[in-house]
Amino acid sequence: MAEKKIAVVTGASRGIGRAIALELAAEGAFVIVNYNGSKEKAEEVLARIRENGGDGALYQCNVAEFDACEQFLGEVVKNYGRIDVLVNNAGITKDGLLMRMSEEDFAKVVDVNLKGTFNCIRHTSRYMLRQRSGRIINMASVVGVNGNAGQANYAASKAGVIGLTKSAAKELASRGITVNAVAPGFIRTDMTDVLSDKVKEATMKLIPMGTFGTPEDIAKTVAFLASDGAGYLTGQVLCVDGGMAM
């Protein structure tokens, strides 16, 4: 029997990351469930993976911290030998109009969403280069493609993730490593539950398919990008958004 793939999913305690962790485990990967503050929720994700017949491990790490990421990913390789799939999913919002946005709220969002993605790629790519194989999947957003009033920090971070994805894809392609981004539209999670009904109604009008997406919609696309069938696909941004960005 082939060895299990080792898949790291950042921000896997809730929402989209949770669904990705469950999906990759169902596809046979050993899943590293990363979380920052939600330890109990991350434990529940690992318990669910095991109930379903899969396996994995929990790792706390704030992806915004460069040295902590080095230690986290180094420990994963020390304990499990390799990293086959890295899903940079961890993300936050701190919405507000540009004119009133604090320097701190701009920096925090960029630190987690963009620098966190850089940190994890930076500290995983050396192992993937040694293996001469790997899949890196970064969570962008339609907002990073089109922009959005009230989300200048978030949109900038996600547009940055797209630029980072394409640059990393070019640097790593010749070594058998693919790097792609998924750009979700409006997905029902804690992140979007806090939005007002007015914002939800306005957003719904922008979705040609007329429904919000689910974390599972994103997880299925990530699982495809991690699969053997996506081996010749790199540097792409897949919008999974009911047609919102077209």
- What is the CA angle 21-27-29, rounded to 5? 65
Q: With contact defined as beta carbons under 8 Å apart, do 164 and 146 qualify?
A: no
Q: 55: which 2 tokens? A: 């396996």
Pairwise CA distance, residues 179 & 175, whole Å? 12
Residue 44 burial (10 A CB sphere; 0-12, 13-18, 19+): middle
Sequence letter at residue 96? G
The CA distance from 187 to 215, in Å, is 6
Q: How far apart are CA 29 and CA 49, in angstroms?
A: 10
Q: How far apart are CA 83 and CA 23, in angstroms?
A: 17
DSSP-derived secondary structure letter, 111: I
Residue nearer to ligand NAP on the CB measure, 26 or 92: 92
**Residue with smaller CB distance to ligand NAP, 129 or 216:** 216
- Catalytic status, residue 59: no
Query: Closest distance between ligand NAP and the C-beta of residue 208, in Å?
Result: 16
Nearer to ligand NAP, 141 or 165 (CB): 141
Task: Say if residues 212 and 154 touch (Cβ distance below 8 Å).
Answer: no
Active-site entry in 35, 127, 154, 232: 154
**Binding residues for ligand NAP (CB under 6 A):** 10-11, 13-17, 34-38, 62-64, 89-92, 112, 116, 139, 141, 184, 186-187, 189-192
Q: Please say which residue, 174 or 196, places its beta carbon nearer to ligand NAP.
A: 196
Give phi and psi for 178, each to the nearest 5.
-100, 145
Closest contact distance (angstroms) between CB of 20 and ligand NAP is 9
Contact 65, 119 (CB under 8 A): yes
C-beta closer to ligand NAP: residue 71 or 231 = 71
Least distance between ligand NAP and beta carbon 148 (Å): 10
Nearest approach, Cβ of residue 81 and ligand NAP (Å): 23
Least distance to ligand NAP from the beta carbon of 174, Å? 28
Catalytic sites, residue numbers: 154
